[in-house]
Amino acid sequence: MSNIQKIQLPETKPDRCRECKLLGLVPKGYPAPKYSKKTHLCIGVPKAMTEDKTFKRESLSDDPKHPLRRPCDEHWERWVSNPNRIISVNKQFYRDSRDLYLSRIYPTIDFDD
């Protein structure tokens, strides 16, 4: 059984991190600095970021003095140049982080009567 999760990236970089398959939450149990507001992370890098940053659109950041910088900026071109735009990440880390994120935006439905 492999410890690698393969993820296919889109042809173009998503306009915001919220639309990316590599966005996740910092898994429980990972040490974070006290009072840190960085709860989300780019799984491909991995680098933590605030939730507010995940909403910002690259297409709307036209201020040259304060350009939008995302954790994947230095890596994206290399990632999409791979055959079929597939990158490999640690399977357990991806599941811990991505599943936690997805469960937050898609709550579990309770069917008990």
pLDDT in tens, 83-101: 899 999 999 999 989 988 8
Q: What is the mean pLDDT of the chain?
A: 88
CA distance 99 to 82: 25
CA distance 108 to 60: 33
CA distance 17 to 97: 14
Token digits for 47?
């680098």
Give the model confidence (pLDDT) of 9-40 as tens digits: 998 999 999 999 999 999 888 888 888 899 99
What local confidence, expressed as pLDDT, does residue 1 receive?
59
CA distance 52 to 49: 8
* CB-based contacts of 102, cutoff 8 Å, min separation 6: none
Residue 2 pLDDT exceeds 90: no
Residue 113 pLDDT exceeds 80: no
Longest dimension (CA), the chain: 56
